[in-house]
């Protein structure tokens, strides 16, 4: 209904799509994980069109649909947008700039690509759909779109199909425990959108991993080489494990917020992760002071600091204050040199074994889901010499995965094995994960 005029859209949502519409309407922030051919683009365009038609309390409402690339937005969504808005009397269509405008309230719906975020600067948005968010440049949302939603308190929908443990995966994990977020995952074997015989045919013709990714929305299925499967981590949440009599070990990953990375502290007592924190400070002395305060509060018997870069200064300061601090150069050779490329690879593998033994627990924390997303992000492979190599930070950033600060801090605690600092127990030769 618009100004007394009833507009009948050429769109009838399926039951699961109707559920999705209801969730989107009730929440400002939404994450939708949907299988291929679910119809998410049509669904979300109609949601945006309905919002634009009904918005009569703001001047010149503005809504945006973004695909990773402008050419994708035009190919995927432009024909749909014109079709579903063609029933609106007097609708204006701009073919060159890919927008439609409604006459009664001057509301505009426009298509963009995240490949040119500067083209979005200076705009405001009342609602945004980010389709295939995992393939988008991170700065497009962080630096441009999110600020453009602030002054008019616009909403955002992040949607896509899984492609490994990228930023979309991290956002989905976060949304599961945020009470003011809508979160939904739609598998093809549950929605009924695709016939059972067609699914069976696709399963026969596709690789198992690709089928699980595209139709079952399995974030772990994108690669056979995910180092720590998400399920191993989430199964450990609040598991009953004795730890109170064990020493507290602290791991520290140092990041200077001026360069974009936060610092992180993780404490472990035996098999239990008891404390996590992530913070932004721009001075090594301030970071060292924060670490000292936490170490004193938890009674840490050993502090392991990633000593590369700014971490070296933090470790030096802590040692000067008389704290039991050890600077760790993760770029040096592993203690089991014939198995791992570098010490970093060995520590991450030890972290994998920590969860794989299923004798560990992660206590409740506001950072718990973030830790799970970071730990389950890296893949692993082998060097030409056959040594195990874990995906590096730079490689992860290229595919849209943020720096795993908390996970790196936890890996620092793996320097303590047994009852003495730095006691490294020889590992069995790594085997390719199932």
Cα angle 355, 358, 364; round to 5: 70
- Alpha helices for 240-309 (secondary structure H): 284-298
Residue whose token pair is 């979005």: 120
**CB 174 within 8 Å of CB 33:** no
Helix H or strand E encompassing 172: helix 167-175
Angle at which helices 284-298 and 310-320 cross, to 10°: 50
CB atoms within 10 A of CB 11: 16
Tell me the C-alpha distance between 40 and 67, whole Å.
13
State the Cα–Cα distance between residues 34 and 31, nearest whole angstrom: 10
| Nearest-10 crossing angle of helices 343-356, 405-413 | 90
Domains of the chain and CATH, by start: 15-222 (3.40.50.300), 230-413 (3.30.420.240)
3 state DSSP class of 258: helix
pLDDT bracket for residue 246 (50, 70, 90): very high
pTM of the model: 0.61
Q: What average pLDDT does the segment 353-366 reach?
A: 92
- Please state the rounded mean pLDDT for residues 324-333: 93
The pLDDT of residue 129: 97
* φ, ψ at 171 (rounded to 5°): -70, -40
pLDDT value, residue 421: 40
State pLDDT tens for residues 72-107.
999 999 999 999 999 999 999 999 999 999 999 999
Distance CA 200, CA 187 (A): 14
> 257-281 b/e with 16+ CB inside 10 Å = b?
eeeebbbbbbbbbbbbbbbbbbeeb
Of 32-36, 272-276, 349-353, 425-429, which range is least confident?
425-429
Residue 231 reports pLDDT greater than 90: no
> What is the chain's mean pLDDT, rounded?
88
Q: Which of the pair, 234 or 345, is modelled with greater confidence?
A: 345
Task: Tell whether the model's pLDDT for residue 333 goes beyond 80.
Answer: yes
């Amino acid at each position: 209904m618009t100004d007394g005029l009833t507009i009948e859209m050429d769109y009838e949502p399926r039951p699961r799509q109707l559920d999705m519409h209801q969730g989107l309407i009730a929440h400002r922030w939404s994450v939708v994980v949907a299988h291929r051919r679910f119809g998410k683009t049509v669904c979300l365009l109609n949601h945006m069109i309905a919002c634009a038609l009904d918005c009569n309390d703001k001047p010149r409402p503005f809504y945006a649909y973004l695909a990773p690339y402008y050419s994708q937005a035009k190919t995927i969504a432009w024909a749909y947008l014109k079709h579903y808005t063609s029933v609106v009397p007097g609708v204006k269509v701009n073919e060159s700039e890919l927008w439609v405008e409604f006459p009664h309230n001057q509301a505009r719906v426009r298509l963009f690509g995240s490949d040119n975020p500067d083209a979005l600067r200076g705009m405001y948005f009342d609602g945004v759909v980010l389709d295939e968010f995992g393939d988008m440049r991170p700065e497009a949302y962080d630096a441009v779109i999110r600020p453009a939603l602030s002054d008019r308190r616009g909403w955002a929908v992040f949607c896509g199909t899984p492609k490994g443990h990228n930023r979309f995966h991290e956002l989905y994990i976060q949304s599961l425990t945020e009470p003011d977020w809508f979160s939904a995952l739609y598998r093809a074997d549950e929605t009924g959108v695709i016939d059972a015989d067609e699914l069976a045919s696709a399963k026969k013709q596709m690789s198992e991993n690709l089928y699980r990714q595209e139709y079952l929305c399995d974030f772990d299925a994108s690669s056979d080489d995910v180092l720590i499967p998400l399920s191993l981590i989430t199964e450990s949440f609040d598991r009953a494990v004795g730890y109170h009599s064990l020493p507290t070990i602290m791991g520290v990953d140092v990041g200077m917020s001026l360069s974009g990375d936060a610092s992180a502290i993780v404490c472990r007592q035996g098999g239990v992760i008891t404390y996590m924190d992530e913070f932004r400070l721009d001075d090594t002395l301030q970071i060292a002071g924060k670490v000292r305060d936490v170490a004193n509060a938890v009674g840490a018997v050993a502090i392991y600091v990633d000593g590369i870069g700014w971490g070296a200064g933090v470790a030096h300061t802590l040692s000067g204050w008389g704290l039991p601090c050890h600077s760790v150069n993760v770029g040096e050779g592993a203690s089991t040199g014939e198995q791992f490329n570098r010490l970093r690879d060995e520590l991450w593998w030890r972290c994998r074994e920590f969860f794989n033994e299923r004798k560990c627990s992660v206590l409740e924390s506001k950072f718990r889901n973030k830790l799970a997303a970071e730990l389950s992000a890296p893949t692993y492979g082998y060097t030409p010499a056959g040594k195990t190599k874990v995906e590096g930070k730079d490689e992860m950033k290229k595919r849209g995965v943020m720096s795993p600060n908390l996970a790196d801090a936890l890996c620092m605690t793996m320097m303590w094995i047994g009852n003495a600092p730095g006691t490294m127990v020889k590992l069995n030769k790594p085997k390719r994960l199932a």
